[in-house]
Amino acid sequence: MYEFTAPFQNPSGSPIRELFKYLGEPGMISFAGGYPASDLFDVDGLQQAAARAYQDSNRCLQYGPTDGLPELKRELVNLMARRGVSCALNEMLVTTGSQQGLDLLLRVLVSPGDVVLTEQPAYPATLQALKLQQAKTVTVPVDAYGVDVDYLATLLASGMVTRPKLLYTVPTFANPTGATLTRERRIALLKLAVQYKFLIVEDDPYGDLRFSGEVVPSIVSLTTEVEGSRDWVVHFASLSKIVAPGLRVGWAIAPAEITRRCVIAKQTVDLCSAPWTQAIAAEYLADGALERHLPRIAAMYGRKCEALCNELREQLGDAIQFHQPEGGMFVWARIDGIDASELLKRAIDNKVMFVPGKAFFADKLDPASLRLSFAAPGLAEIQEGAKRLKRAYEAAFAAGIPKH
């Protein structure tokens, strides 16, 4: 019937969402999703916020401004101030999750064929968004301390990559690696951005979920230390991981002219994000409920992370390598000598799931890598899940799965 054109000739959906079909199987333990823990939602606090929001029902029910409800924007400016970032109202745009912020930004900034840098391994929806926008994606490797800024400096100095439009990174508790970029690297990255005139796109959904170690300031907050760098940073944040994804409330902080263009694009994309959930979010933040509730989430994620890491070591010993993260939702691991996609099949047989690492690579993929999320399963499930992983690992080797 219809003739489709690139980039939609033969689209494949998210490799992670493909795994959802197994989630419904009875007894399945999932380390696969990027979902926050449902049992840590502040159900009562959000119900009270919703009741307060509906006292002005028209604000909930009518169209809202494209850039976001003013009362929510004020609360988000205050929240960013507590995070050490000052921003003006015309530098902030409320989005349908931070995912929409990235989409709007790419549409405003990236033309087909433009060079875009991304850390690797990287959040798959970002790789997909770059593909949709027909960007020329160039990857920069990540180690245990975040994106390799020396590698990037050499790459840029070599002239092999010219005029990149932006670099995408999740510098704090990265998805998938859990790594946090050091302060020194952040400063070095800001200097490179000023020198080579590319935007640093700092995606920061997990920054508040720290359960150990010292706070590292966000890249956008460090722009005060590198002259001229504030013009070269776009910062995305979200309530999805710290309050609830069902609100679909994210926000972008960007130079005013970029923000203005994103707002104009958003007029065409959806007119405005849901005012009703924006109003609930504003009431929730105004009440201080986030500050009261967040420590509970971070503490429980810390316990879950520790349980997972301990049990992985206990069950798999030297066969598995990983760096224990200081926050966020993810452990990034390698099981040397195995193809994680093959391991996943045995894992599903054993009623446990994870995401094979290849989902996070645009090129040069590491087949032995995998991502384990500790956020959603309970402590007992985490322990049982690690035991099942061991059985899957043994079954995979017994079946003679070829080494990669």
Q: Binding a second copy by CB under 8 A: which of 258, 335, 386, 392? A: 258
Least spacing, CB of residue 58 vs a second copy, in Å: 5
3-class SS at 92? strand
d(CA 169, CA 201): 6
3-class SS at 342? helix
Least spacing, CB of residue 65 vs a second copy, in Å: 8
Question: Does position 195 bind a second copy by CB under 8 A?
Answer: no
Task: Compute the C-alpha angle 84/85/88, nearest 5°.
Answer: 145
3-class SS at 350? coil
Q: Report CA 67 to chain centroid distance, whole Å.
A: 22
Closer residue to a second copy, CB minimum distance, 48 or 310: 48
d(CA 369, CA 177): 10
Asked whether 333 and 372 are in contact (CB, 8 A), the reply is yes
End-to-end CA distance of the chain: 41
The 150-189 site mask, x for binding a second copy (CB under 8 A), equals ----------------------------------------
Question: Does position 15 bind a second copy by CB under 8 A?
Answer: no
Closer residue to a second copy, CB minimum distance, 260 or 323: 260
Q: Which residues from 230-249 bind a second copy, rule CB under 8 A? A: 231-232, 240, 244-248
Closer residue to a second copy, CB minimum distance, 260 or 334: 260
Q: Which residues from 92-131 bind a second copy, rule CB under 8 A? A: 95-97, 99-100, 103, 107-109, 111, 114, 125, 128-129
β-strand 29-30 against 352-353: which pairing, if any?
parallel
Q: Establish whether the linkage from the previous residue to 176 is cis, with ω within 30° of 0.
A: yes
d(CA 75, CA 179): 29
Task: Compute the C-alpha angle 125/15/318, nearest 5°.
Answer: 105
Question: Does position 287 bind a second copy by CB under 8 A?
Answer: no
Q: Site size for a second copy, by CB under 8 A?
A: 72
Least spacing, CB of residue 323 vs a second copy, in Å: 27
Q: Which residues from 363-392 bind a second copy, rule CB under 8 A? A: none
Question: Does position 13 bind a second copy by CB under 8 A?
Answer: yes
Closer residue to a second copy, CB minimum distance, 61 or 88: 61
Q: Binding a second copy by CB under 8 A: which of 257, 291, 336, 349? A: 257
